[in-house]
Structure 1
Amino acid sequence: MNTIAEHIADFLKEYPPFDNLTFQELSEISANIRVINLEKHKTLFQINDVLHDCFYVVASGAVTLSVISDAEETLLNKCHAGDVFGLRPFFAKNNYMMTAKAREESIVYGIPIATFRPFVANNPKVLNFLLESFASNTWNPKDKENFRGKLASDNFFYADQKNEMQYFQSLAYNRSPLIVKVTDHAKEVALRMTENLSTSAVICENYLPVGIVTTTDMCSKIATGLFPITNTVDSIMSAPVVTVAENVSLAEAQLLMLKNNVSHLCVTQDGTDKSAVKGVISEHDLIVAQASNPGVLIKEIKRSQNPKELRQIRERLAELIQNSINKNIPLSHINNIASEINSAILKRAVELSILELGSPPARFAWLSIGSQGRKEQLLITDQDSILVFEDVLPDKYRDIRDYFLKLGKKTTLTLEKTGYELCPNGHMGSNMLWCKSLTDWTKQYDSWMNTPGENSNDLSSIFFDLDLVFGEKKIFETLENVIFKNIENNTLFFDFLGNDALRKNAPLTFFKKFVVEEEEPNKDKFDIKTRALMPLIDGARLFALHFNIRGLNNTYLRFKQLAIIDPKNADIYLNCAEAFLILSRFRVNEGLKNDNSGQYINLDELTKLDKEKLKNAFIPMKDLEELIKSNFKLTQFS
Structure 2
Amino acid sequence: MQNTISDRIADFLKKYPPFSYLPMEELQTFTPEITIVYKEKNTIVFKRNSAPHLFFYVVHKGAIGLIRQEDGIVLDICDEGDIFGLRPLMANENYRLEAKAQEESILYAIPITLFKPIVKEYVEIGNFLVESFASNTRNPYSNTHKGQLLGDTAQFNPNNSGSRLLDVQQVEYSSKIISCKPSTRIQTLAKKMSKKNIGAILIEKEGLPFGIITDKDFRNKVVTGIVPITAKAKAIMSSPVITYPSNLTITQAQMAMMKSGISHLVLTEDGTPNTNAIGILSKHDVMLSLGNNPAVLVKATKRCTQVDELKAIRKGVMNLLKGYLEQNIPMSLTSKIISELNDACAKQVIRLSLKQMDTPPPVEFAWLAMGSQGRSEQLLHTDQDNALVFATVTENNLEETRTYFLRLAKLITNGLHEIGYAYCPADMMASNPKWCLSVDEFKETTTKWITNPGPDEVLLSSIFFDYNLAYGSKELTDELASHIFKTVESYPIFLTHLASGALQNPSPSGFFRKFLVEQDGLHKDFFDLKRRALMPLIDAARVLILSHHIKGINNTWQRYEKLALLEPNNAELYLACSYSSKALLKFRTRQGLLHNDSGRFISLEQLNKEERMKLKRTFSSVKDIQEVLSVRFMTAIVR
TM-score band, normalised by the shorter chain? 0.7 to 0.9
Residue 441 of structure 2 corresponds to which residue in structure 1? 440
- In structure 2, relative to structure 1, the CA distance for the partners of 1:460 and 1:363 (3 Å cut) is same
Structure 1: runs of 5 or more not aligned: 1-155
Residue 25 of structure 1 corresponds to which residue in structure 2? none
Residue 148 of structure 1 corresponds to which residue in structure 2? none
The residue matched to 1:367 in structure 2 has which SS? strand
The alpha-carbon deviation at position 160 of structure 1 amounts to 2.3
The alpha-carbon deviation at position 513 of structure 1 amounts to 2.1
Rounded Cα–Cα distance in structure 2 between residues aligned with 1:288 and 1:339: 22
Amino acid at match of 2:599: G
Q: Do the aligned partners of 1:367 and 1:467 also contact (CA within 8 Å) in 2? A: yes
The residue matched to 1:539 in structure 2 has which SS? helix
Residue 505 of structure 1 corresponds to which residue in structure 2? 506
Rounded Cα–Cα distance in structure 2 between residues aligned with 1:451 and 1:292: 49
Amino acid at match of 1:439: D
Rounded Cα–Cα distance in structure 2 between residues aligned with 1:629 and 1:264: 62
What CA RMSD, in Å, does the superposition of the two structures yield over aligned residues?
Answer: 2.2
The alpha-carbon deviation at position 275 of structure 1 amounts to 4.8
The alpha-carbon deviation at position 564 of structure 1 amounts to 1.5
Residue 175 of structure 2 corresponds to which residue in structure 1? 175
Rounded Cα–Cα distance in structure 2 between residues aligned with 1:265 and 1:231: 24
Rounded Cα–Cα distance in structure 1 between residues aligned with 2:333 and 2:257: 28
Residue 14 of structure 1 corresponds to which residue in structure 2? none
Amino acid at match of 1:174: S
Q: Do the aligned partners of 1:563 and 1:574 also contact (CA within 8 Å) in 2? A: yes
Q: Do the aligned partners of 2:458 and 2:497 also contact (CA within 8 Å) in 1? A: no
Q: Do the aligned partners of 2:496 and 2:638 also contact (CA within 8 Å) in 1? A: no
- In structure 2, relative to structure 1, the CA distance for the partners of 1:429 and 1:157 (3 Å cut) is farther
Residue 124 of structure 2 corresponds to which residue in structure 1? none
The alpha-carbon deviation at position 244 of structure 1 amounts to 2.1
Q: Do the aligned partners of 1:294 and 1:337 also contact (CA within 8 Å) in 2? A: yes
1:386 paired to 2:382: no
Residue 119 of structure 2 corresponds to which residue in structure 1? none
The residue matched to 1:436 in structure 2 has which SS? strand
Q: Do the aligned partners of 2:368 and 2:468 also contact (CA within 8 Å) in 1? A: yes
Higher relative contact order (CA 8 A, sep 6+): 2
The residue matched to 1:266 in structure 2 has which SS? strand
Rounded Cα–Cα distance in structure 1 between residues aligned with 2:282 and 2:321: 23
Residue 368 of structure 2 corresponds to which residue in structure 1? 367
Amino acid at match of 1:368: A
Amino acid at match of 1:397: L
Q: Do the aligned partners of 1:452 and 1:459 also contact (CA within 8 Å) in 2? A: no
Amino acid at match of 2:605: D
Amino acid at match of 2:282: S
1:468 paired to 2:463: no
Q: Deviations over 1:239-274 (max 9, x none)?
A: 443332222101221122233321101223443445
Residue 609 of structure 2 corresponds to which residue in structure 1? 608
1:519 paired to 2:520: yes
Rounded Cα–Cα distance in structure 1 between residues aligned with 2:183 and 2:455: 87
Rounded Cα–Cα distance in structure 1 between residues aligned with 2:157 and 2:577: 28
Residue 10 of structure 1 corresponds to which residue in structure 2? none
Q: Deviations over 1:299-335 (max 9, x none)?
A: 1211212221112211221111112212222222211
Residue 151 of structure 1 corresponds to which residue in structure 2? none
Q: Do the aligned partners of 2:388 and 2:430 also contact (CA within 8 Å) in 1? A: yes
Under a length normalisation based on structure 1, what TM-score does the superposition of the two structures give? 0.72
The residue matched to 1:388 in structure 2 has which SS? strand
- In structure 2, relative to structure 1, the CA distance for the partners of 1:187 and 1:399 (3 Å cut) is same
- In structure 2, relative to structure 1, the CA distance for the partners of 1:457 and 1:273 (3 Å cut) is closer
Q: How many matched pairs?
A: 483
Residue 242 of structure 2 corresponds to which residue in structure 1? 242
The residue matched to 2:366 in structure 1 has which SS? strand
Q: Deviations over 1:152-210 (max 9, x none)?
A: xxxx9998212221112121212342343333332233244345443212334555544
The residue matched to 1:459 in structure 2 has which SS? helix
1:203 paired to 2:203: yes
What are the residue-to-residue correspondences of 1:313-332 with 2, within 5 Å? 313-332=313-332
1:341 paired to 2:321: no
Structure 2: runs of 5 or more not aligned: 1-155
What are the residue-to-residue correspondences of 1:84-233 with 2, within 5 Å? 160-205=160-205, 208-233=208-233
- In structure 2, relative to structure 1, the CA distance for the partners of 1:512 and 1:368 (3 Å cut) is same
Residue 416 of structure 2 corresponds to which residue in structure 1? 415
Q: Do the aligned partners of 2:497 and 2:638 also contact (CA within 8 Å) in 1? A: no
Residue 122 of structure 1 corresponds to which residue in structure 2? none
Rounded Cα–Cα distance in structure 2 between residues aligned with 1:188 and 1:162: 46
Residue 38 of structure 1 corresponds to which residue in structure 2? none
Q: Do the aligned partners of 1:389 and 1:438 also contact (CA within 8 Å) in 2? A: yes
The alpha-carbon deviation at position 280 of structure 1 amounts to 1.4
Residue 485 of structure 1 corresponds to which residue in structure 2? 486
Amino acid at match of 1:545: L
Amino acid at match of 2:399: R
Rounded Cα–Cα distance in structure 2 between residues aligned with 1:261 and 1:471: 49
The residue matched to 1:488 in structure 2 has which SS? helix
Rounded Cα–Cα distance in structure 2 between residues aligned with 1:157 and 1:180: 45
The alpha-carbon deviation at position 289 of structure 1 amounts to 0.9
Q: Do the aligned partners of 1:331 and 1:585 also contact (CA within 8 Å) in 2? A: yes
Q: Do the aligned partners of 1:447 and 1:455 also contact (CA within 8 Å) in 2? A: no
The alpha-carbon deviation at position 434 of structure 1 amounts to 1.0
Q: Do the aligned partners of 1:502 and 1:637 also contact (CA within 8 Å) in 2? A: no
Q: Deviations over 1:337-396 (max 9, x none)?
A: 110011111111111111111310001111111111001010011111111111112211
Amino acid at match of 2:419: T
The residue matched to 1:468 in structure 2 has which SS? strand
Residue 635 of structure 2 corresponds to which residue in structure 1? 634
Rounded Cα–Cα distance in structure 2 between residues aligned with 1:456 and 1:243: 63
The residue matched to 2:569 in structure 1 has which SS? helix
The residue matched to 2:511 in structure 1 has which SS? coil
The alpha-carbon deviation at position 403 of structure 1 amounts to 0.5
The alpha-carbon deviation at position 443 of structure 1 amounts to 1.1
What are the residue-to-residue correspondences of 1:620-631 with 2, within 5 Å? 620-631=621-632
The residue matched to 2:400 in structure 1 has which SS? helix
Residue 279 of structure 1 corresponds to which residue in structure 2? 279
The alpha-carbon deviation at position 628 of structure 1 amounts to 1.1
The alpha-carbon deviation at position 459 of structure 1 amounts to 2.9
